[in-house]
Amino acid sequence: MGGINSLCAVLCMAPNLTYLFIAGLPGRSRIIPRSVSLPVLTTLHLRNVDGLLLHVIVDRWALPALAHLILDDPWYSQALLIIWEKYGSQLRTVELGKHLRFLVRDVISPCLRCCPSLEEINYYPLFTTSPVLEQAHYSLKTVGLHYAPNLYLIDQASIRSSLEQHFDWLLSRQLPLLQRIVLHGDWTNAVADPRFKPILERSVRRGKFIVYPDGSRISID
């Protein structure tokens, strides 16, 4: 089909798509700008998409039902801003991948500022800079934290410090509707650490429950 060059042509023949995953090499795509309408697409998953294709998606595609966005890598800051400004008002769920570039700058704060109706965000705390929220967000209800070791954080002190910073913003008063913090992956060592107990105690006081994916709550005892 000609690979990425035929993407728009293929999509024009598939208006009933609900999930679309696009991956490519930056600077390699030679896509012909063409209007595309995907009226029932709810989930868009992007990986390594170059600036040209991104602008085609933002400027020429109609995605009225898009509610779930998955970003495996952050490209450059302006690209993310373009996405938030275009689709932020309709997004309900955002997922950030396991990529070191998410540590370069705060990605979560701009996302929350531009996505007022966002209800859930999932990310890897050891690969993502903890945000500094300047204003409250009034729709976020669930945050999923995916544990994966970061080889650049080699000492336990750095790991604990990073995790504590993430829980500080999650348990702050800037997220008044946050109800659940879901721990995905192997959190055994972190949860067993005595220094995790104050985090659990604070979460209970704030009514923000830390749970596993099956819904079971993590006990203070």
- Cβ atoms of residues 36 and 27 within 8 Å: no
pLDDT digits (tens, 9 = 90+) for 167-217: 999 999 999 999 999 999 999 999 999 999 999 999 999 999 999 999 999
Sequence letter at residue 53: L
How far is residue 167's CA from residue 204's CA, in Å, rounded to a whole number? Answer: 13
User: What pLDDT, on a 0 to 100 scale, did the predictor assign at position 179?
Assistant: 95
CB 209 within 8 A of CB 203: yes
CA 121 to chain centre: 5
CB-CB neighbours of 221 under 10 Å = 4
CB atoms within 10 A of CB 207: 9
Instruction: Give me the phi and psi of 192, to 5 degrees please.
Output: -75, -20
Q: Is the pLDDT of residue 118 over 50?
A: yes
- DSSP bridge partners of 49: none
Q: What is the pLDDT of residue 77?
A: 66
pTM: 0.92
pLDDT band at 32 (very low <50, low <70, confident <90, very high): low
- pLDDT for 5 beyond 80: no
Mean pLDDT, the chain, integer: 90
Residue 13 CB neighbours (<10 A): 6
Structure tokens at 20: 């679309």
| Rounded-to-integer distance, Cα 158 and Cα 57, Å | 39
CA distance 23 to 70: 12
| 47-102 per-position pLDDT tens digit | 988 888 888 899 999 999 999 999 999 877 678 889 999 999 999 999 999 999 99
CA dist., res. 218 & res. 221, Å (int) = 9
Cβ count within 10 A of residue 53 = 21
Is residue 26 over pLDDT 60?
no
pLDDT at position 221 is 66
How much is the pLDDT for 173?
92
Q: Is residue 3 over pLDDT 60? A: no
Nearest to 103 by CA among 73, 66, 144, 60: 73
Let me know: does 25 contact 51? Beta carbons within 8 Å. no
Percent of the chain with pLDDT over 90: 69
pLDDT at 2: 42
Alpha-carbon dihedral sign for residues 185, 188, 191, 195: negative
Q: How confident is the model at residue 161 (pLDDT cuts 50, 70, 90)?
A: very high
